[in-house]
Amino acid sequence: MNWHPLTSVEQLDEIIEESKNTPVVIFKHSTACSISSTAKSRLERQWQGAGLDHIKPYYLDLISYRPVSNEVAELLQVRHQSPQVLLVQDGVCTYNASHLGISVDAIKKQTAA
């Protein structure tokens, strides 16, 4: 899984625009939380060979970039959680999940719909 760092609010606008051409996943990760580390590891393992190469994954360290995390929640109209995965397609969040409910299969189903 080739993570792309999400570190600025300005970048978020570009990502939402990018999602109009290709699906985008934003993974909000708390580096201080063991559940977040477990969810990230599971996501990375399941992503390999899942046929999701057409989805661009972004990684947001929400402790280092809390204002960006807050803007993600506001702009995409989703309640902040950590860890959290958001699938953005055509400029809107079409799927979100948190904690151990994060599922590569669910992401795959949403992009096939």
Query: Quick one: CA dihedral 109, 37, 19, 68, positive or negative?
Result: positive
pLDDT tens sequence across 58-94: 999 999 999 999 999 999 999 988 899 999 999 999 9
**Predicted local confidence at residue 113, as pLDDT:** 56
Beta-carbon contacts of residue 91 (< 8 Å; ≥ 6 apart): 16, 17, 19, 20
The arithmetic mean of pLDDT across residues 23-40, rounded, is 94
pTM of the shown model: 0.94
Count of H helices and E strands in the chain?
4, 5
**Predicted local confidence at residue 81, as pLDDT:** 87
**Predicted local confidence at residue 111, as pLDDT:** 87
Residue 15 pLDDT greater than 80, yes or no: yes
**Predicted local confidence at residue 49, as pLDDT:** 86
